[in-house]
Structure 1
Amino acid sequence: MSTRIVLVRHAESVWPALGVPDHDERPLTENGLAAASSLVPRLAAYAPTAVLSSPQLRAVQTVAPTADAIGLDVITWPELREWESGLLPSADWETSYAHSWAHPQFAHGDGESLDELTVRAGKALVRMAAEYPDATVVVGSHGTFLSRALIAAGHHADWESCRAMPMPAIYEVTR
């Protein structure tokens, strides 16, 4: 008896403004919206009983077309949010991210460490299995969150795989 969890990284989103905190209402681009629509046949084929998402708009917009097509609501869970890195968007964000991946216990300012994100992601996977036993759920979230969820589920992920993850991307784990 197991829960199949289909993790979906959001499609292409509008870039955050540099030097200011990112915001939850950052949407998908036109290309991202088209990509989200093109996911419908593939995600609907999983016959999910629930569609979950990060509350951040770009994640919701990625899975909403599938939820609409199969007659389900998108249910947002705050624990599916992207990594709360403590970093402001910057032109050299990759340097900071690479440092964090090399030192996953390190937290920037008041942000969470990647180790803390892995724990959060793992707890979310456990909650999904408890609330949707023997079912399939589609989950819209974010690249760093998905990478750390894969680690929590016993799969390999590293900075290079996270950095190379396409938008959108789909991964399947079983709990």
Structure 2
Amino acid sequence: MTVIYFVRHAHSHYTADEYNRPLSDNGFKDRDRVTKLFENKMIHVIYSSTYKRAIQTVEGIAQEHHLQVNIVDTFKERTLSNKKIMDFDDAIRQLWSHPNFAFEGGESNETAMERAITTLQKIVLAHPNDNIVIGTHGNIMVLMMQYFDIQYDYSFWKKLSIPDVYQLTFQNFVLVDVQRIWKE
């Protein structure tokens, strides 16, 4: 069995610079709580989105386990649009309601899911019987989960916390179990 721990990044204050947006003070406190969650778990490898807030959220786990964080661009958050989005929640609702719809310059659910799942499959198959941490983001995380089970949808995404941690257990590339392990 391969175990994937999806770690949704901790809190950060919004800036237009998606790549370099750091964790907030509260985000760093939660990062320490996330690290503590993994102190007694065997972790073999850590991957993260290219976004600073995702990397910072899993850095403590990497330090605790003497591992490097492998940066993977395909785990970054989905691109909504290259234009300013006035109502974020409405935009996300539209994207989840119409999986092949995309705003100008953005990614549809189908496109974002495909990019992330291709990488996830390679990682799961390359690490049989390993425990893997992946620092990622809410939308892309739920899209990857939805690939295996349609119950992971917009409503599920709306209930996520920041941060959040889910444990997914795979046999080959077949999902056999999902558990939320983050305690708010």
* Residue among 30, 52, 58 paired with 1:57: 52
Identity %: 27
2:175 — aligned with what? none
Query: Given the two structures, how large is their TM-score scaled by the length of structure 2?
Result: 0.86
Task: State the partner residue of 2:99.
Answer: 104
Once residues 48 and 156 of structure 1 are traced to their aligned partners in structure 2, the CA distance between those partners, rounded to angstroms, is 28
CA contact (8 A) 1:60 1:140 kept: yes
Give distance in 2, aligned partners of 1:162 and 1:92: 17
- In 2, distance between residues paired with 1:117 and 1:45? 33
Q: Does 1 or 2 have the higher relative contact order (CA < 8 Å, sep 6+)?
A: 1
Deviations 1:104-140 (A, max 9, x none): 1101112211011122222122111122111000010
> Which has the larger share of strand?
2
Contact kept, 8 Å, 1:153 with 1:173, in 2: the verdict is no
Rounded Cα–Cα distance in structure 2 between residues aligned with 1:155 and 1:102: 13
Q: Paired residue for 1:15?
A: 14
> Which residue of 1 is the match for residue 147 of structure 2?
152
1:68 pairs with one of 63, 66, 69 = 63
The alpha-carbon distance between structure 1 residues 111 and 27, as it changes in their structure 2 partners (threshold 3 A), is: same
Distance 2:6 2:71 in 1: 14
- Corresponding position: 1:134 with 2:129: yes
Normalising by the residue count of structure 1, what TM-score does the alignment of the two structures yield?
Answer: 0.90
**Contact 1:40 1:66 (C-alpha < 8 Å) held by counterparts:** yes
1:91 Cα offset (Å): 4.6
Cα distance between partner residues in 2 of 1:96 and 1:155: 20
CA contact (8 A) 2:10 2:23 kept: yes
1:171 aligns with 2:166: yes
* Residue type at the aligned position of 1:9: R
Structure 1 residues 153 and 172: alpha-carbon distance in aligned structure 2, compared to 1, 3 A threshold = farther
RMSD: 1.5
C-alpha distance in structure 1 between counterparts of 2:29 and 2:111, whole Å: 33
Q: Distance in 2 between matches of 1:73 and 1:173?
A: 21
Number of residue pairs the alignment of both structures matches? 170
Please state how far the C-alpha of 1:172 moved relative to its aligned partner: 1.3
Partners of 2:33 and 2:91 lie apart in 1 by 33
Matching residue of 1:3: 2
